[in-house]
Amino acid sequence: MNSSGSRPSRLGRNPFVHKLRFSTTDKIKIGLMSVTVFPVRLLLVSFLMLLAWPFAFAASLGRSEYVLEPRSWWRSFIHVSLFVIMRVMWFCGGFHWIKVKGERAAPSEAPIIIVAPHSSYFDAIPVTCTMCSIVAKLESGSIPVWGTLIKYIRPVFVFRSDQESRKQTIEEIKRRAGSGGKWPQIMIFPEGTCTNRSSLILFKAGAFIPGFPVQPVVLRYQNRLDTISWTWRGPGAFKLLWLTLCQPHNAIEIEYLPVYTPSDEEKKNPNLFASNVRKIMAKALEVPITDLSFEDREISFSQGPLCIHNPSSLLEFNQLVRRLRLNSTDSLLKEQACRARKLQRHQLSVEDFACFLHLPVTDVLQQVFNLFAKDEEGHIDIRHFLIALSTIHRPSRSMETLKLAFGLYENEDSGEVHEDELASTLEIMLGVKEMELSVLLMELDRIDTEKITYDELYHFIEQHPRFVQDYLDFKDHPRKFCIRRPKTSNGQNHDKDH
C-alpha cells in the first residue's frame, strides 16, 4: 500500500505509545527516593484514600440516581471533608500546589466541562478539585475503595460494548445538562482513552450531541520526566505510580478556557462541534491534532500470528475509510469479496472503484484510490483494497483476513495461490514492503511450483509461532540475526542484507 500522494500524512508520533528514558541523574534520584520518600508517600496516600471511603459510602446511602436531594448539613460536611482529604492526598503524592488559570463557569452557563488531553489516572485531580460528575465505564464503579469515591460524585455510567447503553448515557447527559444548573457539571474526557499528550486525537461526539455550551479545560503536566502518561504500550500503572511518587515535586496546571457556545450548524453536526472545540484546545496546548481515534489503538497493537508490523499506512487508510463512512461488517466484507471474485477483471479505474462501493467520486475516494494505484494506467486491484479493509476491520483476527485473501486469489480447482499474490497480501496485512517468500516455500517444499494452499499455510503458521520472524523476509525486517537465504532451483541466490 502506498502513502497518499494527494495529501501529507498527519500521523506523526504514535499517541498510544510512551517510552521513558532516564539519565544517570534520574536513576540516582529515583534510587534514593525509592528507599526514603516513596514508602512514606505511598503509606500516606493509601491511608487518606481509605479515610475518604467511609465518608463517600455514608453520603451515597439511600441516594437516588435520578433525583437530586437537597444538600443537608451533614452532606455538606461530608462534601467539604472529602474535598480536603483528596487535596491532602494529592499533596502527599507530590502535587504540592495545583496551578489554576482562568475561571470555572457556573453549571447554568456551561453544564458540560470538556477536559483534554486524557493521559493518566492522575487526571482525577481536576475531578476531585471540582467534585464534578464524570462519564465512567460501568466497571469502574466496582473498583475497591476508588469505586465508592467515583459513585459519590454521581457519575454517568456507560457500558462501552452496548449500543443501547451509549444511547441511554447521552440521554442522561441531556437530562442533567438541561436542568438549569441544578445538577453538578459533567466533566468529560472526549478522547475516550489515554495518550502520551503528543497530540489531541479525535474527540468522541457523545459530549457534543446534546448541543449545550461547554467549557474546554486543558491539563499540563510540566515535569521534565514524564512519569504520568499511562498508554496502551509503555510503563504499567504501578510503575508510573512508583516513579511519580519518587519525584520531589509534580507540577500540574489546569487552565479553564472561555465557554464555547455551539452554533446552529454545530448543534446539528456534533462532529463539527467536537472538531472546533478540539482545535481551540490544541491551540491552547500548542500541540498538533491527529486523525487517530480510540479505535485505532487496535490497529496499532494488533495481536495474532500475523500481527501488523508497521501500522502507518493502515492507519492512514483507516482515517480515509472513516471519512468515506464505510461501515464494514463481516457479512459486508464477505459480500464484497463475492462480488470481486465475479468481476471479469480486478483492475479498476477510479470510476469503476466508486461504482463498486456505490459511492460518488470525491476527493476522499480519490485519496483512497491513490493508496492502491500501481499500474501505469492508474488502476487498482480491488482485491488489495478488500484485504486492507478486512485488516483494519478485524486487526487481531488476521487468519480470517488471510482466508478472505485466499478466496479472492485461489485457483478454483487446486485452491492454490501464487507466491506473488501471497506476497502482496502479506505486504498489505503487515504494513510492509518488498515481501520475499523463498524461505517459506523451501520449508514447504514448494520452491518449484511457487504456489501454496490456505490449509498448508494455516497449519504451518499454527506450528510456528515465530512465523513472521523466521520465515518471511521484507524491508526493515525485525530479525536480529542474518539468516542465510536459500538458492532456488535455477541457482539464483536470495541472500539479502539486514
- pLDDT level of residue 277 (50, 70, 90 thresholds): very high
Tens digit of each residue's pLDDT (9 = 90 or more) over 8-45: 345 567 899 999 999 999 999 999 999 999 999 999 99
Kindly report the pTM of this predicted structure.
0.79
pLDDT tens track for 203-217: 999 899 999 999 999
Residue 489: the pLDDT is: 39
Per-residue HEC secondary structure of the chain comes to CCCCCCCCCCCCCCCCECCCCCCHHHHHHHHHHHHCHHHHHHHHHHHHHHHHHHHHHHHHCCCCCCCCCCCCHHHHHHHHHHHHHHHHHHHHCCCCCEEEECCCCCCCCCCEEEEECCCCHHHHHHHHHHCCEEEEEHHHHHCCCHHHHHHHCCCEEECCCCHHHHHHHHHHHHHHHCCCCCCCCEEECCCCCCCCCCCECCCCHHHCCCCCCEEEEEEEECCCCCCCCCCCECCCHHHHHHHHHCCCCCCEEEEECCCECCCHHHHHCHHHHHHHHHHHHHHHHCCCECCCCHHHHHHHCCCCCCCCCCCHHHHHHHHHHHHHCCCCCHHHHHHHHHHHHHCCCCEECHHHHHHHHCCCCCHHHHHHHHHHCCCCCCCEEHHHHHHHHHHHHCCCCHHHHHHHHHHHHCCCCCCEEEHHHHHHHHHHHHCCCCCECHHHHHHCCCCCCCEEEHHHHHHHHHHCCCHHHHHCECCCCCCCCCCCCCECCCCCECCCCC
Whether the pLDDT of residue 283 is over 50: the answer is yes
Q: Mean pLDDT score of the chain, rounded to an integer?
A: 88
Task: Tell me the per-residue pLDDT of 432-471, one tens digit each, with 9 for 90 and over.
Answer: 998 999 889 998 888 888 889 999 999 999 999 889 988 8
374-411 pLDDT, tens digit each: 766 789 999 999 999 999 999 999 999 999 999 999 98
